[in-house]
């Protein structure tokens, strides 16, 4: 069994840090221990687990449970205090492709899963309905200002609505859930929520209702589709074949036995994949890097100044439910005792860009809680020292830092890109192929062990190790103050995303 003991190197570092917080932490030895080969071994193990469990590691599946148990045994053997935290979450799975069509006056079958067509709204109810299409408080043409439409946001919008009709609702200022709930309460048999229509808001909406509380079928459509369905005399048909219910899964948390428990460093990555594939980049890359850092920290005998809490979150792909359940379980004192949250979600994308979360909001306009800029600067300084260019990415709510920043906890992390398209400028800077996705296998069955950039994984895991070790060994406060939670909460409330789905 590996044990955690204070080495001479660690003792020297600790003494230097206690004398002055300005002394930088030497992370070279720890970074050298975190090799791409070491991380890839864990990704290979996750691939084998997926292969033997139906090709997926999605939350609630046997593949997820086996992934959690595999990591649990390793970190327990390394000497960590390990907790399995069960929680319930809303589960959604489509059983077959949804259907949306105009029957009258012009028969049109709208393409499922295409930008010009429609997508099933996550947590939609199941069913097949046919009825007259009825627009609800629409702005056609749309305002030039995004989120200006209040279509379906108030019960009064449905005054005079004919029960049994299919509600045609425009995206806008309130959540998709509220629109669908109001429609169901008014007697709608189905709902089509279509994009608002401004530039950048015309494609089919890949959205979420956030919870399985609506029993009628709900889909998100392109602006042009909604505009057609909202015309006079239209009869439409909506079909959704899906499971939407409450299920149970768990987080895995491993803590160092020592270190200050009033300045905890929470280092997280989601362990689950989407149902469609094994998820070896998303997020086997972050999960594997976390595991390798935890094991090497123990192997080197490092006893951190500040307690480290490694977390493998469940049900992130369903909407950040694991990290949210964890944060919800914390007391006010527990929250105050977390100094920083580091998040590593996709760090080996084949067509990568080196993205760093914009903690101070200087580049994207969305800042994290007070101290997040300091975390960002740790990464920026590291990459500058390595001669590696980086780009900012926004706290848009699409990963597990979301519940932390909502509670005012400073956060930061790394990302190599998902479904976004690499530009010509990025290809010139980072290599790869302009015009292709950063991860061409994002949320697909081909997100396997082969879906990886060794170069990105090496560089990003080293940067992750640098930040982890820096915050583990620092004797200074990350944020300098406990204020700033209200601002962070407001920023989190304003985010359009819940996990990987739009929520409004």
**pLDDT at position 268, please?**
98
**pLDDT at position 153, please?**
97
Both 50 and 120 in one domain: the answer is no
Instruction: Answer whether residue 452 is part of any domain.
Output: yes
Q: Which are the contacts of 81, defined by CB distance < 8 A and separation ≥ 6?
A: 254, 255, 256, 257
Both 205 and 167 in one domain: the answer is yes
Both 481 and 395 in one domain: the answer is yes
**pLDDT at position 498, please?**
64
Residue 341, pLDDT > 60, answer yes
Both 423 and 485 in one domain: the answer is yes
The model's confidence at residue 495, banded by pLDDT at 50, 70 and 90, is low
- How does the average pLDDT of the chain come out, rounded? 92
Which of 187, 217, 245 is at the close of a domain? Answer: 245
Instruction: Answer whether residue 85 is part of any domain.
Output: no
Q: Where residue 297 sits, what CATH number does that domain have? A: 3.40.630.10
**pLDDT at position 8, please?**
32
Residue 5, pLDDT > 70, answer no
What percent of the chain is predicted at pLDDT more than 70? Answer: 91
Both 56 and 186 in one domain: the answer is no
The tally of domains found in the chain comes to 2
Mean pLDDT of 69-91: 97
Instruction: Answer whether residue 463 is part of any domain.
Output: yes
Instruction: Answer whether residue 131 is part of any domain.
Output: yes
**pLDDT at position 71, please?**
98
Both 228 and 104 in one domain: the answer is yes
**pLDDT tens-digit series, residues 355-380:** 999 999 999 999 999 999 999 999 99
- For the beta carbon of residue 356, count every other beta carbon within 10 angstroms: 24
Both 163 and 268 in one domain: the answer is no
Both 44 and 155 in one domain: the answer is no
Instruction: Answer whether residue 250 is part of any domain.
Output: no
**287: containing domain:** 8-80+256-502
Q: How many CA atoms lie within 13 A of 447 on its CB side?
A: 32
**pLDDT at position 478, please?**
72
* Whether residue 255 lies in the annotated active site: no
Residue 466, pLDDT > 90, answer yes
Both 120 and 72 in one domain: the answer is no
Which of 245, 267, 291 is at the close of a domain? Answer: 245
**pLDDT at position 497, please?**
64
Say which of 227, 255, 316, 376 is annotated catalytic. 316
**pTM for the model:** 0.81
**pLDDT tens-digit series, residues 440-465:** 999 999 999 999 999 999 999 999 99
Closest to 82 measured CA to CA, from 73, 90, 91? 73
Instruction: Answer whether residue 128 is part of any domain.
Output: yes
Strands 501-502 and 497-498: antiparallel
Closest to 209 measured CA to CA, from 498, 413, 473, 489? 498
The model's confidence at residue 477, banded by pLDDT at 50, 70 and 90, is confident
Q: Where residue 221 sits, what CATH number does that domain have? A: 3.50.30.30
The model's confidence at residue 504, banded by pLDDT at 50, 70 and 90, is confident
Both 464 and 380 in one domain: the answer is yes
Cα separation, 399 vs 417, in Å, equals 12
What percent of the chain is predicted at pLDDT more than 90? Answer: 88
Q: How many CA atoms lie within 13 A of 32 on its CB side?
A: 5
Cα separation, 123 vs 321, in Å, equals 14
Residue with tokens 């595999």: 70
Say which range, 99-103, 186-190, 208-212, has the weakest mean pLDDT.
208-212
Cα separation, 283 vs 291, in Å, equals 12
Residue 489, pLDDT > 50, answer no
**pLDDT tens-digit series, residues 292-339:** 999 999 999 999 999 999 999 999 998 899 999 999 999 999 999 999
Both 69 and 97 in one domain: the answer is no
Residue 401, pLDDT > 70, answer yes
Instruction: Answer whether residue 326 is part of any domain.
Output: yes
Which of 226, 245, 264 is at the close of a domain? Answer: 245
Both 47 and 182 in one domain: the answer is no
Say which range, 4-8, 237-241, 440-444, has the weakest mean pLDDT.
4-8
Cα separation, 299 vs 289, in Å, equals 15
Instruction: Answer whether residue 470 is part of any domain.
Output: yes
């Amino acid at each position: 069994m590996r044990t955690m003991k204070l080495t001479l190197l660690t003792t020297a570092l600790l003494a230097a840090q206690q004398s002055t917080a300005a002394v930088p932490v030497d992370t070279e030895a720890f970074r050298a221990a975190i090799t791409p080969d070491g991380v890839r071994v864990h990704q290979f193990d996750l691939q084998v687990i997926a292969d033997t469990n139906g090709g997926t590691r999605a939350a609630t599946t046997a593949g997820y449970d086996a992934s959690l148990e595999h990591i649990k045994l390793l970190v327990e053997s390394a000497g960590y205090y390990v907790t399995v935290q069960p929680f319930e979450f809303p589960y959604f799975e489509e059983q077959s492709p949804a259907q949306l069509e105009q029957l009258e006056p012009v028969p049109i079958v709208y393409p499922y899963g295409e930008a010009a067509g429609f997508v099933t709204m996550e947590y939609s109810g199941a069913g097949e309905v046919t009825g007259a299409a009825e627009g609800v408080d629409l702005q056609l043409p749309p305002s030039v200002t995004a989120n200006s439409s209040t279509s379906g946001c108030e019960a009064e919008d449905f005054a005079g609505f004919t029960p049994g009709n299919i509600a045609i609702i425009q995206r806008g200022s309130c959540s998709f859930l509220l629109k669908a709930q109001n429609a169901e309460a008014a007697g709608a048999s189905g709902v089509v929520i279509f994009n608002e229509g401004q530039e950048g808001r015309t494609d089919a909406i890949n959205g979420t209702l956030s919870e399985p509380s609506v029993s009628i079928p709900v889909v998100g459509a392109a602006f042009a589709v909604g505009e057609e369905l909202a015309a006079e005399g239209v009869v439409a048909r909506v079909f959704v074949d899906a499971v939407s219910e409450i299920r149970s899964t768990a987080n895995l948390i491993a803590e160092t036995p020592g270190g200050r428990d009033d300045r905890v460093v929470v280092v997280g990555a989601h362990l689950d994949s989407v149902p469609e594939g094994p998820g070896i980049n998303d997020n086997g890359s972050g999960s594997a890097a976390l595991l390798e850092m935890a094991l090497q920290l123990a192997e080197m005998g490092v006893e951190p100044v500040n307690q480290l809490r490694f977390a493998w979150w469940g049900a992130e792909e369903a909407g950040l439910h694991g990290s949210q359940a964890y944060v919800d379980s914390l007391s006010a004192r527990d929250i105050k005792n977390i100094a920083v949250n580091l998040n590593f979600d996709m760090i080996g994308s084949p067509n990568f860009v080196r993205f760093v979360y914009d903690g101070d909001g200087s580049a994207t306009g969305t800042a994290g809680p007070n101290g997040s800029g300091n975390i960002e600067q740790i990464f920026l300084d590291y990459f500058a020292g390595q001669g590696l260019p980086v780009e900012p990415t926004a706290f848009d709510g699409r990963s597990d830092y979301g519940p932390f920043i909502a509670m005012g906890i400073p956060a930061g992390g790394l990302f190599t890109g998902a479904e976004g398209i690499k530009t010509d400028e990025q290809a010139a800077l980072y290599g790869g192929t302009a015009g292709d996705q950063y991860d061409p296998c994002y949320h697909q069955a081909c997100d396997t062990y082969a879906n990886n950039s060794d170069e990105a994984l090496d560089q990003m895991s080293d940067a992750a190790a640098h930040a982890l070790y820096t915050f583990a060994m620092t004797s200074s406060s990350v944020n300098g103050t406990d204020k700033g939670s209200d601002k962070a909460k407001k920023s989190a409330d304003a985010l359009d995303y819940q996990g990987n789905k739009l929520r409004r």
